[in-house]
Amino acid sequence: MLDSAFVKEYLDTHLEQRQVNKVQHGFPSPRYWNEPSVPMDELTEDRRRLQKDGRQAGVYLYVGVPYCIKTTPGKCGYCLFPVEEFQGNDALEDYYGYVEREAELYRDLLEGSVLTTAYFGGGTSNLYRPHMYHKIMDLVRGLVPEIAPTADVTLEGIPQLFTRDKMRAIRDSGMNRISMGVQQVNERLNSLSGRRQTTRHVVQSLEWAREFGLAANVDVIFGWPQQTVQTMLEDLETLVSWGVHDITHYELNVGGPTDFALNRFHELPSTLSNLEMYREGRDLLLDRGYEQHGAYSFRKPGDPTTRLFREGYRPETSRDTSDAVGLGYAAVSFFGDASLGDGRSWSFINQRNLTRYKQAVDDGRFPVERAFRHQPEDWLLATLFRKLLGMEIDRTGIRRAMAVDVYEEFATIWDALAERGLVEIEPDRITLVGDGPFYTPLISTLLAEERYHALRDHEARTPKTGPVPAGGTGPGHG
């Protein structure tokens, strides 16, 4: 356990620093994923064992697209994800044929599974022509025939690429939700990223979604170059006036060789301005009747089409288990369960080079680039990271599943956060309160400090086996 004095000094040092470069949706960072392959036979054996033990084998399915339309600069100014420039529908459909063949490799592994969530991202998944959405859902049903009645099946896209025919095909295929990466409603600010969407594109796409009974989420970003609190509030007020029931409002992640990091860093709001934007945006949405369901997610009750999306949802309070399967270029997968013991849980990323991805599939191999074998402490941290995004950690459920009390395990951290009004500690749960959700990246990093120290020591003693992944650990925002 970290020393109390260290924790307090760490918080004093980091609370006023930029948070988002430490955003982690899973543990550990992909830079530590050094295994060159994954024992798929072992994973299949473990899933069979869990099913025999009476567990429902849930699966979260992610299907990625590598392509984005050309912008100036060469890809959206904020984008940290690996993408390829769109070369036309023939190249896209050829790529999709590889995804179908990769899915076949998972057939035995996923036998008996139930689909709990599906997300089609990238890249830009609404580049597909209308007939392809039916093919995508045929793939899903062929791979995981049983779909839970509550399953959220989401297609991510950018407003200017939706059409009425596409929206109808999305609905008719069996998908039930779209997620639009709007980023900025303000057209001038949005153009700084190189994107060409207009307000009309957004409004029209929302109208088509309503016409066909599709739930619709809008992603917007705060902390954007040249953005002020006032322009941010105007964007949120506009979304409210359009009747958008689901809004994801998250802080810009600035880093890597992006245009924003290299050429517009001096135009970014200050860290304290970002905190003010978080507070003002949260308060406006709560005042307009929205409820905060996650660190960055807000929902207004009353929309009959609304569906609760939980990325890579992993239950720890029941007899069920849920793995995340990523298909396609640069897709990420998570397999395992706390009950399996040491080293029986895995994270891995597919090839981020399109040629190598295709070559692996042509060879009949899982196109894994790098993987990480989790120990129990890694699986606990991965669970905590995801639960923090939902603002609540179930102490009772985790104690039952992992024989660990997460308060006692990290007491000095939780106590210091509670003193600052960022968390509330109860016998059965720990909840982010006040500005706690804004500091989710900092809290995650602090919880993982000791384990990362051990991983760095191990890395220093271990010979390098080749390049390791760097960057995001989940789907991109189109």
**pLDDT for the residue 337:** 79
**pLDDT for the residue 245:** 95
Q: What does pLDDT average to in each consecutive run of 10 residues of the chain (478 residues)?
A: 93 86 69 92 89 80 95 87 92 97 96 93 95 97 93 95 98 97 96 93 97 96 97 98 96 90 94 95 98 94 74 44 88 85 89 97 97 91 90 93 93 97 97 96 93 88 58 41
pTM recorded for the entire structure: 0.92
Alpha helices in 242-325 (DSSP H): 259-263, 271-287
Domains of the chain, start order: 1-32+375-461 (1.10.10.920), 40-299 (3.20.20.70)
Give the pair of three-digit tokens for residue 65.
């697209």
**pLDDT for the residue 466:** 52
**pLDDT for the residue 284:** 98
Answer whether 250's CB lies under 8 Å from 294's CB. no
Quick one: DSSP state of residue 197? -
List CB contacts of 213: < 8 A, sequence separation 6 or more: 171, 305
Distance CA 269, CA 231 (A): 12
**In terms of DSSP bridges, do strands 332-335 and 345-350 run parallel, antiparallel, or are they unpaired?**
antiparallel
Quick one: DSSP state of residue 376? H
